[in-house]
């Protein structure tokens, strides 16, 4: 799906373009009015990256065959839908000295097809799969600038920032997902003498086709609405597309639908169907179950008409025809909070399944586990997945408050109840949780005297503030969490046995991170949360070291490390490596990585032969990677420190 706004770099008259390039080369600046404003902004960005118009692309990254294969695997859905469209484009452009190119959201070229003669010329400027054409490395060009501006455009001949790319004419448009995220770019690049004025229209049409295919795949399980001003427009590339959850929330849209309904990207994920059209979910669900799929007339909120066709997703088709849709939708949607915690670890999966069985039963939960394993995250998921989800979620860390303040914090107080108290008094956290969920984190650290007061509140379901006054009825779901062994605390006289049995309606033991089997999924999930819209990954050797690490700080430590790594990651980097980590963690992980397995039996040639084989492998890797230490280390499957050591051991010459 592409954005509704776009620009096309103006075909600047030759004399003005030549003057603009002269100014750019001699002074580094271009006077107003000589070239298109968008083109000038791109030139300014390119200059800001330190690129020289007459120079080469300094240190532009180029993926190895293995890296390109991994990138294609990560973008498998995009590539599979784009490939047949690229083939169609190529047929239209055959024998015109041009290439059809697919790039990812970071500017890496994933696939290219086109005329063999032009492909040879294009390779001289690295216009081939594996090369990166982000503006940071190539300056103004159709692929990189389409990514920078999130808009389709043409960059023709001398409009390219680098002189060496001036023989090209390039037309590109971004491919956008239903959530508004740019997924990649589709581009036609060719000899500037063969520029075709319809190339932009062709590329935009091709992109819209890819976006529609991606939309249908992404929302196959959802309720889909197809819209147009005329009934004949439904099913065409000009149709508007909306995807709704079972409870009527807008989950995805294309640019055409947003324009038809006067919506913005911010409405995706937030707006309800009643805010979009004069419709409700009951009507839509009824239409889904009626035979035939003829378009129907619907009304926008200004009274104007649109034509609509409803398509039922898998969730709708498998639901019971006689059941009311709204409650089912709420249960399914909000259960996603717990479902998100189930990322493949058997122990975590068991905890989630047990929690679901008692989700809305009137019992308390006790979450057990080491510090940092995600007890509060689990508690929030329990709250969000149950019937109290619309009520407040109140969390109190019993270990973080001074003992003299815990009582006032929990139970509240009347005005003037103690020195320093607010003159207005305070309701207390227990009353704030009325109608929702109260989390008492580190309950094992609560003082004994307050344990007795808490027990009375749980028994009487009412709370009396400090300083006296009338008891106030309270209704909340209680979740407690602790890293302590409460049975041992009871034996030591530090925890009340009667309170323990009141709290322990269902106890769930959450596994430590080093015990879990889903680290890759956890890392991917955290990275999506830290850097939404970016496809980030760990370097293979780093991922292996992380899988062997004990993670004493558990999920909290992992999340903190990934936050630091993302902060140190370059804007156009997609892979997290050793140097992106905090130094102390990197040192520990390198120690794990450097641990070598027990040596196998010595071959007939002895140690000298092994050293010679090792030396040849290192030398060949360095030659094939043109001296790139990081890439050579990856290919050899060793750390950079180990590679440095092996390089020092190589014989001279």
Residue 401: both structure tokens together: 């408050």
Mean pLDDT, residues 590-617 taken together: 52
Q: Look up the pTM and report it.
A: 0.51
Per residue in 9-44, pLDDT (tens digit) is: 444 568 889 999 899 888 888 888 888 999 999 999
Residue 204: both structure tokens together: 């935009």
Residue 68 clears pLDDT 80, i.e. is over it: yes
Separation in Å, CA 384 to CA 201, 332, 352, 356, 367: 46, 11, 13, 12, 16
Residue 595 clears pLDDT 50, i.e. is over it: yes
Range in 99-108, 248-257, 438-447, 593-602 the model is least confident about: 593-602
CB 428 within 8 A of CB 468: no
Per residue in 175-198, pLDDT (tens digit) is: 999 988 899 999 999 998 877 778
Alpha-carbon torsion (263, 264, 265, 269), positive or negative: negative
Residue 351: both structure tokens together: 């905890």
Confidence of residue 205 (pLDDT cuts 50, 70, 90): very high
Mean pLDDT, residues 354-369 taken together: 89
Residue 199 clears pLDDT 70, i.e. is over it: yes
Per residue in 616-643, pLDDT (tens digit) is: 667 766 666 656 666 666 666 566 666 6
Alpha-carbon torsion (460, 465, 468, 472), positive or negative: negative
Per residue in 36-67, pLDDT (tens digit) is: 999 999 999 999 988 999 866 667 888 888 78
Place of tokens 């019993």: 398
Which helix (H) or strand (E) covers residue 551, if one does? none
Residue 548 clears pLDDT 50, i.e. is over it: yes
Cα–Cα distance between 573 and 639 in angstroms, integer? 19
Cα–Cα distance between 641 and 586 in angstroms, integer? 12
Mode of pairing for the β-strands spanning 437-441 and 305-311: unpaired
Residue 144: both structure tokens together: 């990189």
**Residue length of the chain:** 653
645: CB partners within 8 A, 6+ apart: none
Who wins on pLDDT, 472 or 403? 472
CB 167 within 8 A of CB 121: yes
Mean residue pLDDT across the chain: 83
Which pLDDT score, from 0 to 100, does residue 606 have? 41
Residue 605 clears pLDDT 50, i.e. is over it: no
Residue 279: both structure tokens together: 């419709």
Helix and strand element counts for the chain (H, E): 27, 19
9: CB partners within 8 A, 6+ apart: 36, 38, 39, 145, 153, 154, 155, 156, 159
Distance, first Cα to last Cα, the chain: 57
CB 260 within 8 A of CB 225: no
């Amino acid at each position: 799906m592409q954005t509704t706004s776009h620009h096309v770099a103006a075909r600047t008259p030759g004399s003005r373009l030549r003057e603009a390039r002269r100014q750019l080369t001699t002074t580094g600046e271009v006077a107003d009015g000589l070239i298109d404003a968008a083109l000038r902004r791109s030139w300014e960005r390119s200059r800001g990256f330190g690129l020289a118009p007459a120079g080469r692309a300094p240190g532009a990254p180029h993926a190895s065959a293995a890296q390109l294969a991994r990138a294609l695997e990560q973008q498998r859905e995009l590539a599979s839908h784009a490939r047949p469209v690229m083939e169609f484009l190529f047929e239209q452009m055959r024998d015109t000295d041009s290439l059809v190119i697919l790039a990812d959201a970071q500017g890496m070229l994933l696939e290219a097809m086109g005329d063999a003669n032009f492909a040879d010329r294009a390779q001289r400027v690295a216009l081939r799969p594996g090369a990166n054409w982000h503006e940071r490395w190539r300056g103004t060009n159709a692929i990189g600038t389409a990514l920078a501006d999130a808009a389709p455009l043409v960059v023709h001949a001398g409009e390219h920032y680098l002189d060496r790319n001036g023989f090209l004419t390039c037309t590109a448009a971004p491919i956008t997902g239903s959530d508004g995220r740019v997924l990649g770019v589709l581009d036609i690049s060719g000899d500037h003498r063969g520029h075709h004025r319809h190339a932009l229209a062709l590329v935009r049409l091709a992109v819209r086709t890819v976006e529609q295919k991606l939309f249908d795949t992404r929302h196959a399980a959802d309720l889909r609405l197809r819209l147009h001003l005329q009934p004949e427009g439904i099913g065409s590339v000009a149709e508007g597309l909306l995807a709704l959850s079972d409870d009527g929330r807008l989950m995805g849209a294309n640019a055409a639908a947003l324009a038809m309904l006067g919506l913005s990207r911010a409405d995706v994920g937030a707006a309800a169907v009643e805010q979009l059209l004069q419709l409700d979910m009951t009507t839509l669900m009824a239409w889904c179950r009626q035979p035939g799929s003829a378009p129907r007339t619907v009304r926008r909120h200004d009274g104007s008409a649109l034509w609509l066709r409803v398509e039922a997703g898998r969730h709708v088709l498998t639901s019971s025809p006689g059941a009311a849709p709204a409650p089912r939708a709420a249960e399914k949607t909000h259960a996603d909070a717990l479902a998100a915690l189930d990322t493949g670890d058997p122990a975590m999966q068991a905890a989630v399944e047990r929690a679901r069985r008692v989700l809305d039963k009137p019992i308390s939960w006790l979450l057990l586990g080491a510090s940092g394993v995600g007890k509060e995250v689990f508690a929030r998921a329990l709250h969000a997945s149950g019937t109290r989800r619309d009520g407040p979620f109140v969390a109190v860390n019993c270990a973080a408050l001074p003992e003299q303040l815990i009582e006032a914090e929990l139970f509240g107080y009347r005005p003037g109840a103690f020195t320093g108290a607010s003159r207005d008094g305070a309701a207390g956290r227990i009353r704030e949780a009325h109608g929702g969920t109260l989390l008492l984190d580190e309950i094992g650290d609560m003082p004994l005297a307050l344990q007795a007061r808490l027990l009375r509140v749980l028994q009487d379901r009412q709370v009396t503030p400090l300083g006296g006054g009338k008891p106030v009825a309270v209704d909340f779901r209680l979740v407690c969490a602790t890293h302590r062994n409460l049975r041992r605390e009871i034996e030591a006289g530090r925890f009340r046995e009667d309170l323990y049995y009141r709290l322990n309606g269902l106890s769930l033991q959450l596994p430590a991170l080093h015990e879990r089997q889903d680290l890759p999924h956890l890392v991917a999930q955290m990275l999506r949360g830290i850097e939404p819209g970016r496809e980030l990954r760990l370097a293979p050797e780093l991922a292996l070291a992380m899988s062997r690490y004990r993670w004493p700080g558990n999920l909290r430590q992992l999340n903190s490390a990934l936050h630091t790594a993302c902060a140190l990651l370059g804007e156009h980097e997609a892979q997290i490596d050793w140097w992106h980590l905090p130094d102390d963690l990197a040192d520990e992980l390198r120690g794990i990585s450097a641990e070598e397995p027990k040596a196998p039996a010595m071959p007939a040639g002895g140690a000298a032969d092994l050293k010679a084989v090792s030396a040849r492998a290192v030398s060949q890797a360095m030659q094939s990677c043109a001296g790139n230490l990081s890439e050579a280390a990856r290919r050899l499957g060793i750390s950079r420190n180990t590679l440095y050591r092996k390089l020092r051991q190589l014989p001279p010459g």
